[in-house]
Structure 1
């Protein structure tokens, strides 16, 4: 993807943190405008074979309620092969009907299927960035900072937007910790700021949503992707207009994380909330 097709509204297409007012940023990836209107829906490709991955990608491409596909490489036995994934990536892009492709290796400690040494993780990402078939790349912010900064720079040089992410499958950090992590992601050059946490009470869900809204209102110059996981956290996936989250995950078949709902149901709720907010 050429650099000019990944840009922020009213900002030069340099993918650097702009001086825009908090809450004003809209990230454009292809024809998708993230941060404008209702939250955009991501569905994950969690297949363990190329054939299954293509079938899931076709379903996503044909699903009107889904805006973006995520390829979870940690689910694919050959996902660590980097450049050798290029033929599959090209075929996936071909059946996604123009929808952006987010590529992710989720580490075991952050909820993924398999572990990968840090050096291998960043080498894999560098190889994938040179395939020309990646629109967005998920990078875990807790990896070594110098390596994170280097891969963010390389992604931007290749015209690829970066989701800096953090996942806590055990608990929900305090309000100030959530805001600090999101601000750190922004300072590291993220194009989308992501945090997902596990609630142990209803109050934890409200903590995540309040922190997300506070970040969006006071500090965010990038779109947010925030969620509280599991059954308790379902509301956080449906209330992006309130919490400031510009994206949410939903499933077409197998969920990729606890608490995901079917994409059609999520879209129905988001549409109702959007209509209500405009009345």
Structure 2
């Protein structure tokens, strides 16, 4: 599908334009996860992330103590008063790295509420979500002009390459505009497996943008290396505010990308 033999960074054949940035273009994007128990805490982190020139924000709704529609409206409205930066709306279940437990029906309702409120650019829904609920979110998002990430997170181990490629195919079949897989390595060979799966997914399986890296301290270097092999975005934290193990800070990622003229 794509000849990557002489390209420093393997780009997406079908990139997505998000306002002033391109997901899947020549330069990989830096996404800052926004965490916090309250809207006030999240907004303070948004201000800092915008000040550090993040490309995208991921709003981690699973962090919030309250997730009702009024709270979501307040949060999104306040972010939009500060910046027009692209927003990924994420509400992780506990089993895929979510911060706080919640009932599945209530979790899905937050996606419905957010789509109704507007002001977001991407929704991230897990492949493991009950198919009828997942399809509801995907359909509603696309009706509202919101792109969809369908994601897979494995915090226990790294599946083999063929399994990961099958997951990517399932995500695309389920309606993903952007596919995502994150895996936990136990050895460096596991990191290589993740990278091989990423590269093959990029060059032979899907044309859309991909987000992928290894999770945890052992896989931290994958958050940079993956950007050369097909991942179009990396998550980078504000100091002391990681949303997942092994995340580098925004400034650390920027410094490394500058070496290769990718910032």
* Residue from 112, 116, 127 that aligns with 1:141: 127
- C-alpha deviation, 1:116, in angstroms: 2.4
For residue 271 of structure 1, report the CA deviation from its aligned partner. Answer: 2.6
Do the aligned partners of residues 226 and 49 (structure 1) sit closer, same or farther apart at CA in structure 2, a change above 3 Å counting? same
Residue of structure 2 in register with 1:257 after alignment:
244
Does residue 43 of the first structure (1) align with residue 29 of the second (2)? no
Aligned equivalents of 1:263, 1:84: Cα separation in 2: 27
TM-score, normalised to structure 2, is 0.91
Verify: 1:78 aligned to 2:72, yes or no: no
1:27 maps to: 16
> Separation in 2 of the partners of 1:70 and 1:158?
19
- Alignment RMSD: 1.5
Distance change >3 Å, CA 241–CA 124, structure 1 → 2: closer
Match in the other structure for 1:52: 41
Q: Is the 8 A contact 2:182 2:213 kept in 1?
A: yes
5+ unaligned residues in a row in structure 2: which ranges? 1-10
CA distance in 2, matches of 1:183, 1:83: 36
The aligned length equals 251
The match for 1:198 among 167, 181, 184 is: 184
Equivalent residue, structure 2, for 1:224: 210
Instruction: Name the structure 2 match of 1:13.
Output: none
1:18 is matched with: none
What does residue 94 of structure 1 align with? Answer: 81
Kindly tell me: are residues 274 and 219 of structure 1, through their superposed partners in 2, closer, same or farther at Cα, counting changes over 3 Å?
farther
Residue 268 of structure 1 and its aligned partner are, at CA, apart by 1.7
CA distance in 1, matches of 2:164, 2:28: 20
Q: CA deviation at 1:103?
A: 1.1
1:264 match: secondary structure? helix
Once residues 148 and 40 of structure 2 are traced to their aligned partners in structure 1, the CA distance between those partners, rounded to angstroms, is 27
User: Does 1:234 pair with 2:223?
Assistant: no
The answer as to whether partners of 2:213 and 2:219 remain within 8 angstroms in 1 is: yes
Contact (CA 8 Å) 1:38, 1:240: kept in 2 or not? no
Q: 1:155 to 1:134 in 2, by over 3 A?
A: same
CA–CA distance in 1 between the matches of 2:158 and 2:190?
6
Q: Which runs of 5+ in 1 are unaligned?
A: 1-21
| Alpha-carbon distance between aligned partners in 2 of 1:128 and 1:241, rounded to the nearest angstrom | 30
Query: Would the alpha carbon gap of residues 241 and 87 (structure 1) be closer, same or farther in structure 2, given more than 3 Å must change?
Result: closer
Provide the residue aligned with 2:146 in structure 1: 160
**8 Å contact from structure 1 (residues 43, 251) kept in 2:** yes
Q: Give the 3-state SS of the residue equivalent to 1:255 in structure 2.
A: coil
- SS across alignment from 2:58: strand
**Secondary structure, counterpart of 1:133 in structure 2:** coil
CA positional deviation for 1:109 = 0.4
2:164 corresponds to which of 178, 186, 206: 178
Cα–Cα, structure 1 residues 186 and 274, in superposed 2: closer, same or farther, change >3 Å? farther
Q: 1:83 offset after TM fit, Å? A: 4.4
Q: After TM superposition, which residue ranges in structure 1, 4 or more long, deviate above 6 angstroms?
A: none
Q: CA deviation at 1:229?
A: 0.8
